[in-house]
Amino acid sequence: MRLTLDILQVLILILGAPLVRAIVARLKARLQRRRGSSVWRPYAELFKLLCKEELVPPTSSAVFRVAPMVLFGATVCAAGFVPVVHASALLGSRGDFFLFVYVLALGRFFLSLGGLDGGSAFGGMGASREALISSLAEAPFLLGLVAIAVLAARADIAGMVAWTLGQNVFNISAVHILALTSLAMVTLAETGRMPVDNPTTHLELTMIHEGMVLEYSGPSLALIEWASAIKLHTLLALLIALFFPWGMASSGAAWGIAVALLLYCAKVAVLMILLSVIESAVAKLRMYLVPDFLGVASALSALAVIFTMWMKR
Amino acid sequence: MGLVGIATEKILSSFSVFLFLTILLLAVARRISTSVLLFGLQSAIIAAEVFATAFQEKLPEVYIVGALVFLIKVVGIPRAFFLLVKRLKTVRDVKASTTPTQSVFIAAAIIYLSYAAVHSYGGAVHVPDDPLAAAVSLILTGAFLMVSRKKALMQMLGLLVLENGIFLAALITTFGMPLVIEIGIFFDILMGLLLMGIFTFRISDTFEHLDVSKLRRLRG
């Protein structure tokens, strides 16, 4: 029963990911008074890409072909760490949050290798920018999670969630607010959303993610796009699980799980609305301001870790 | 009683956390209008704490102070600032002399310092740590904003943040000052704001900018 639930959670994260991305795009379109495309289109696009022939640049090596698979595998693996409807996860007992962060980092590393190996100028540019951003985002990501882990005295994400579930909703501590702020900023940077990267276009010189995937086509492109959607969904689910887990099912009862699932959908919907509002309201940062953005996130999460000394939630 | 009582307790125990957040956001804010909004938010949090104190200690005159805080600091002063910004037609940037990252690290250090300073003191006088540390860090942040921002408007704002800190410290250690003194202080703030507003107009008239780091020479 427990195993089925855990597998169900991973499936929700993986299969729901394109939908989440499409709904954010749709909401953005609505905010800009466009109609936007159907929310089911990403699935059709993935299917179309998976059926297509793959074209590989003649100069590229095996890394170019392997990179999308590693990225997809790593992202799916990371999705296995995050609880969705109850406070445990498929890989919950097999690794702590360090593994979660670095499995995601492994995926990014291979994606930027693939971008470099493709041989186009845009790929190299995107890869070097990606390397800059991920190296700067790593510190706040880890420190934000460390702060929560210190409070919960647990290192696995599922354990942290189980601890938070036992707390009172209203006794918010400085640690949680600081960690939430910095992790939300990191989520924006890690998933290439608006103040850091523009996810909607591959027509500008400042592109990061789109620059790296420019040379990819067919099934490889499908894997990369799907992986980045899964990453967005996983990080949103992580924010929900760490900071607003209340309502998760405590036992295996069917109606409890149904309620938890509905509540999860509502929470994700709120986050998606927030994300689309932020993306419509904020202009993209200049590349040289991105270190400032992430520096602020680092300071917030460092402060959160320091605060764990004083705060007993 | 029930629900309101619980709400007041929660406000008193955990709202100071949001004050820390406004401090950190003030450190990174790039625009004058953002800073003014943050100041309004900060004052609203303090007004909520005033009302909570009034309810918990059953002091009717503190309600009046709370209403004054709301009217003057949440509604009045931000509006006056927006009017000033609009009239002065100045650049929106705050002209910080530190980068946002440096400022946020300094603000973080200020919060840490104030906790360290308050930690030994709070236990002795039976005052909760968090709000007192928030008050001290508001005072220090106000001073920091005044020295690190070059726009004359931001120095007024820094002074107001500093005043918020003093007000909060008075509120948690002694449940606020007597009403007459409180009204006097509010009057002082309004007069100060008026004077500083006139001064900024004069500065922008004679120098055609508001950058205080360039006010080196006398000009007729």
What is the gyration radius of the CA atoms in chain A, in angstroms?
19
Parent domain of A185: 2-307
Contact B104 A310 (CB under 8 A): no
pLDDT of residue A313: 43
Count the domains in chain A: 1
Model's pTM, two decimal places? 0.86
Burial class (CB in 10 A: 0-12, 13-18, 19+), B9: middle
Contact B10 A178 (CB under 8 A): no
Contact B14 A178 (CB under 8 A): no
What share of chain B in percent tops pLDDT 70?
A: 96
Query: Where are chain B's structural domains?
Result: 2-213
Q: In the structure encoding, which two tokens stand for residue B118, read together? A: 């308050």
When scoring B11, B13, B14 by the number of chain A Cβ atoms within 10 A, the one with the most, hence best to mutate, is B14
pLDDT of residue B70: 92
User: What is the number of CB-based contacts under 8 A between chain A and chain B?
Assistant: 54
pLDDT, one tens digit per residue, over A49-102 is 999 999 998 888 999 999 999 999 999 999 999 999 888 888 877 888 999 999
Does the CB of A131 have a partner CB in chain B at under 8 Å?
A: no
Between B131 and B6, the higher pLDDT residue: B131
Residue A200 lies in a domain: yes
Which positions ≥6 away from A86 have C-beta within 8 Å? Answer: A5, A9, A248, A249, A250, A252, A257, A260
Residues in chain B with CB shorter than 8 Å from the CB of A298 are: 101
The residue behind tokens 């931000």 is B78
pLDDT, one tens digit per residue, over B42-51 is 999 999 999 9
Assess whether pLDDT exceeds 70 at residue B148. yes
Q: Which run of H or of E encompasses B138? A: helix B129-148
Q: Which run of H or of E encompasses A272? A: helix A254-281
Mean pLDDT over residues B24-35, rounded?
87
pLDDT of residue B1: 56
Between B120 and B141, the higher pLDDT residue: B141
**How far is it, in rounded angstroms, from Cα B52 to Cα B63?**
9
Mean pLDDT over residues B155-168, rounded?
91
- The answer to whether the CB of B165 falls within 8 A of the CB of B136 is yes
Ramachandran assignment for A218, one of left (phi > 0), alpha (psi -120 to 50 degrees), beta (any other): left
Contact B21 A177 (CB under 8 A): yes
Which one, of A70, A140, A128, A126, lies nearest residue A294 by Cα? A140
pLDDT, one tens digit per residue, over A217-231 is 999 999 999 999 999
Contact B105 A299 (CB under 8 A): yes
**How far is it, in rounded angstroms, from Cα A79 to Cα A9?**
9
**Which of B17, B99, B107 is facing A292, going by the closest CB pair?**
B99
Contact A170 B24 (CB under 8 A): no
What's the pLDDT band for A187 if we cut at 50, 70, 90? very high
Distance from CA of B138 to the nearest CA of A (A): 15
Assess whether pLDDT exceeds 70 at residue B219. no
pLDDT, one tens digit per residue, over A98-116 is 999 999 999 999 999 999 9
**Which of A173, A300, A310 is facing B24, going by the closest CB pair?**
A300
When scoring A177, A289, A296, A298 by the number of chain B Cβ atoms within 10 A, the one with the most, hence best to mutate, is A296
The residue behind tokens 């055609």 is B208
Does the CB of A285 have a partner CB in chain B at under 8 Å?
A: no
* Nearest chain B residue (CA) to A181: B21
Task: Name the range with the highest mean pLDDT among A76-80, A115-119, A296-300, B78-82.
Answer: A76-80
Residue A273 lies in a domain: yes
**Which of A173, A181, A303 is facing B111, going by the closest CB pair?**
A303
Burial class (CB in 10 A: 0-12, 13-18, 19+), A296: buried
pLDDT of residue B220: 56
Residues in chain A with CB shorter than 8 Å from the CB of B101 are: 291-292, 295-296, 298-299
Amino acid code (one letter) for A88:
S
Assess whether pLDDT exceeds 90 at residue B87. no
Chain-centroid distance of CA B100 in Å reads 19
What share of chain A in percent tops pLDDT 90?
A: 54
Assess whether pLDDT exceeds 80 at residue B212. no
Contact B18 A299 (CB under 8 A): no
pLDDT of residue A63: 92
Residues in chain B with CB shorter than 8 Å from the CB of A302 are: 108
Contact B101 A296 (CB under 8 A): yes
Mean pLDDT over residues A176-204, rounded?
86
Mean pLDDT over residues B147-176, rounded?
87
